[in-house]
């Protein structure tokens, strides 16, 4: 009986040993196969492709609309302000330019002078639409200061080979004829001095029309800005042609 039990025990022990050896060999073969097939923790080409960022859209150039609340679009949504509407019109016409809204509500021409270097350095414009001075007039500031500031702004922009479109502005008659006449002559004078592309009146077809202005009678509605874009567009097209030729 004892011999029989010993024989059975030895037989079971040998069987378990053979099973362990077989399992070990199977694991060794699997591991060796994985090495040969090049499996690793590195991402596959497919995964690597998904990590590549989408390319940044390329533009033919940058137009910066610099000005006060009339440029910023006070009272309307950003997409209805004239710079955004202008960009859409240009792209519809096949001109892949981006238009950056650099308007600051309440800004005077002195404020524009204080940030012109930032605009040039940070936005790298090819063309600048310069609309400033309305707040100078509304505050009754010396027209001579406005003229000096415009001259400095244009001189700085041209020194960086930037095409300048000067947007002319008119002042309300309640400030008196002497002031309004002095104010009105500044813009064409600066445009002639620097040989600029000149928009005689930025708000042509909009000023004084209640249907195109907000309740303050000063700032256009979205429909009013659409009219502004139609006024500005031919001058922008001229600037694009000149900028491309240089």
- Active-site residue 11, yes or no? no
What is the DSSP code (8-state) at residue 131?
A: E
Cβ atoms of 175 and 139 closer than 8 Å = no
* Backbone φ and ψ of 197, nearest 5°: -70, 125
Q: Hey, what long-range contacts does 154-162 have (CB within 8 A, 24 or more apart)? A: 154/130, 154/190, 154/194, 154/196, 155/194, 156/116, 156/117, 156/120, 157/116, 157/120, 157/128, 157/130, 158/194, 160/120, 161/246, 162/120, 162/125, 162/126, 162/127, 162/128
Closest CA to 229 of 108, 9, 73: 73
Q: Which of 68, 69, 126, 243 is catalytic?
A: 69
- Active-site residue 216, yes or no? yes
- What's the burial of 110, exposed, middle or buried (CB within 10 Å: 0-12/13-18/19+)? middle
Q: 162-176 as b/e, with b when 16 or more CB fall inside 10 Å? A: bbbbbbbbbbeeeee
- Active-site residue 69, yes or no? yes
Q: Which of 68, 136, 219, 243 is catalytic?
A: 219
- Show which residues are catalytic: 69, 216, 219
């Amino acid at each position: 009986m004892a011999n029989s039990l010993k024989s059975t025990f030895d037989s079971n022990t040998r069987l378990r040993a053979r099973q362990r050896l077989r399992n070990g060999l199977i694991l060794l073969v699997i591991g060796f196969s994985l090495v040969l097939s090049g499996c690793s923790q590195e991402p596959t080409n497919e995964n690597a492709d998904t990590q590549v960022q989408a390319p940044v859209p390329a533009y033919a150039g940058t137009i910066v609309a610099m000005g006060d609340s009339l440029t910023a679009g006070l009272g309307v949504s950003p997409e209805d302000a004239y710079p955004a509407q202008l960009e859409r019109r240009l792209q519809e016409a096949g001109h892949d330019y981006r238009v950056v809204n650099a308007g600051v509500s309440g800004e005077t021409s002195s404020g524009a002078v204080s940030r012109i270097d930032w605009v040039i350095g940070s936005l790298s414009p090819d063309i600048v639409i310069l609309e400033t001075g309305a707040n100078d007039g509304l505050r009754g500031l010396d027209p001579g200061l406005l003229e000096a500031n415009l001259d400095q702004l244009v001189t700085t922009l041209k020194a960086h080979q930037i095409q300048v479109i000067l947007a002319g502005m008119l002042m309300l008659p309640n400030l008196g004829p002497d002031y309004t006449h002095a104010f009105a002559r500044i813009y064409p004078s600066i445009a002639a001095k620097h040989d600029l592309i000149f928009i005689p009146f930025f708000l042509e077809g909009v000023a004084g029309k209640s249907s195109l202005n907000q309740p303050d009678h000063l700032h256009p509605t979205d429909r009013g800005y659409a009219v502004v874009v139609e006024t500005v567009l031919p001058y922008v097209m001229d600037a694009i042609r000149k900028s491309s030729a240089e």
